[in-house]
Amino acid sequence: MSSDMHMAIDTIAVHGGIDKLQFLPAVPPIYQTSTFGFESAEHGAQLFAGRGEGYIYTRMGNPTVDAVERAIATLEGGARALACGSGMAAIHTTFGALLKAGDHIVCSEAVYGPTCTLVTKFLPTYGIEATTVDTSDLDAVRAAMRPNTKVLYVETPGNPTLVVSDLAETARIAHEAGAKLVVDNTFMSPILQQPIRHGADIVVHSLTKFLNGHADVVGGVIVVKDENDYPQFRKTLNHFGGVLPPFESFLVHRGIKTLSLRMARHCENALKIAEYLEGHDQVEWVRYPWLKSHPQYEISRKQCTGGGAVISFGLRGGVEAGRRMMNAVKLCMLAVSLGGVETLIQHPASMTHASMGAEARKKAGIDDGMVRISVGIEDADDIIADLDQALAAAAGKTAECASHVAAT
């Protein structure tokens, strides 16, 4: 697909990034090499000076990696993309490119646990101040901005609370304050949400999730809207070193071809399961962006084309009931991560968000009893049957436990 063709996102997902390949292979070959030969000493010197066509060394660029980067940049509507060794590497590289000692960052309080730790514990050791706020509360965001704020970092929907932040409004606040809006788009994928089209400057993803989609790669990506920002990001990634290797790039590029189909099935299944959970008497509360009960339902409908795959909920029996339910699932896998074809279930307070600490979890609304599901692309009725038997098992044991407590 030539880069000057304007296609729908489903078409871009299949053909994006493979327009510049030699010999016209249907899929990009894996250039499994760490280094590239120069035609001459002059040619090598030219490439190092940033002139001429060719590759130098895989940390600095590789055709297989370039192909997946072009595909993702096109899907997100950005100028360029940089594939990284993990989502955390993408986020760290972004901070490295945009922040220096004396700067300030404002960050969503509900984010992936290690992102919160990176922002609130690591950045201050580099002399960078950090404030976390509920980024769905625009007044709170406005109040948190300072003259030295260089980055407004928004994860929407937030992991694991699914709090949705308004992209167009947060972009306006960031730009009025002279800061860049960085959006973690992992939970939506570019199929469901394209933050750059709403004003974001930078988008990051954990490729480990929907973009790869098959739970067999750890990777991340940065997409920059403005070509002028790209050299600083490339330089930072080159020096920090957290790049995505060629084989992983090949796998992610392959995964992207079915992204649109997978997202449609994820969303269809997840809405059905969220409605099932909401109607279950043992379930106290459910959060899913496309449930009408979600506090930011309207915003999610406005800026996204689907609710995604992730649901969080709490059981009437609290932490113990949730634990029993997670131990009783048979089809769903008790594991962290999300965005793969298989349904995963986990406990944020003791797993993905344990590193944040109890105080930050409380501030972010991460209840100790919260259970999180990443709904896969299996048959929705099979997932519901499994959840049903697990909820029944949890209830049985809760009743047993209650009667035991009453008897003693």
User: What letters, b where the CB count within 10 A reaches 16 and e where it falls short, cover 219-230?
Assistant: bbbbbbbeeebb
Looking at this protein, which amino acid is placed at residue 185?
N
Residue closer to ligand LCS (CB basis): 135 or 398 = 135
Give one DSSP letter per residue of 333-377, joined into a string: EE-S--SSSS-EEE-TTTTTTGGG-HHHHHHHT--TTEEEEE--S
Shortest Cβ 69–ligand LCS spacing (Å): 16
Q: Under 8 Å CB-to-CB from 284, ≥6 apart: which residues? A: 313, 314, 315, 316, 369
Shortest Cβ 169–ligand LCS spacing (Å): 20
Which residue stretch of 254-262, 279-287, 330-338, 388-396 sits at the interface with ligand LCS (rule: CB under 6 A)?
Answer: 330-338
Shortest Cβ 110–ligand LCS spacing (Å): 10
Question: Does residue 355 belong to the site contacting ligand LCS (CB under 6 A)?
Answer: no
Nearest to 247 by CA among 83, 9, 42, 78: 83
Classified as helix, coil or strand, 106 is strand
Q: Which of 70, 180, 209, 234 is catalytic?
A: 209
Contact code string over 88-117 relative to ligand LCS, x by CB under 6 A: x-----------------------x--x--
Nearest to 72 by CA among 298, 259, 234: 259
Using an 8 Å Cβ cutoff, are 76 and 223 in contact? yes
Q: Under 8 Å CB-to-CB from 63, ≥6 apart: which residues? A: 21, 28, 29, 31, 55
Question: Does residue 337 belong to the site contacting ligand LCS (CB under 6 A)?
Answer: yes
Question: Does residue 269 belong to the site contacting ligand LCS (CB under 6 A)?
Answer: no
Q: Using CB under 6 A, pick the residue from 62, 64, 86, 131 that binds ligand LCS.
A: 86
Contact code string over 218-257 relative to ligand LCS, x by CB under 6 A: x-x-------------------------------------
Q: Which two tokens stand for residue 269?
A: 């299944």
Q: Using CB under 6 A, pick the residue from 87, 213, 308, 322 that binds ligand LCS.
A: 87
Binders in 126-165 for ligand LCS, by CB under 6 A: 155, 159
Using an 8 Å Cβ cutoff, are 340 and 209 in contact? yes
Q: Which of 184, 201, 367, 386 is catalytic?
A: 184
Q: Which of 31, 112, 153, 230 is catalytic?
A: 112
Q: Which of 57, 59, 297, 316 is catalytic?
A: 59
Question: Does residue 60 belong to the site contacting ligand LCS (CB under 6 A)?
Answer: no
Catalytic residues: 59, 112, 184, 209
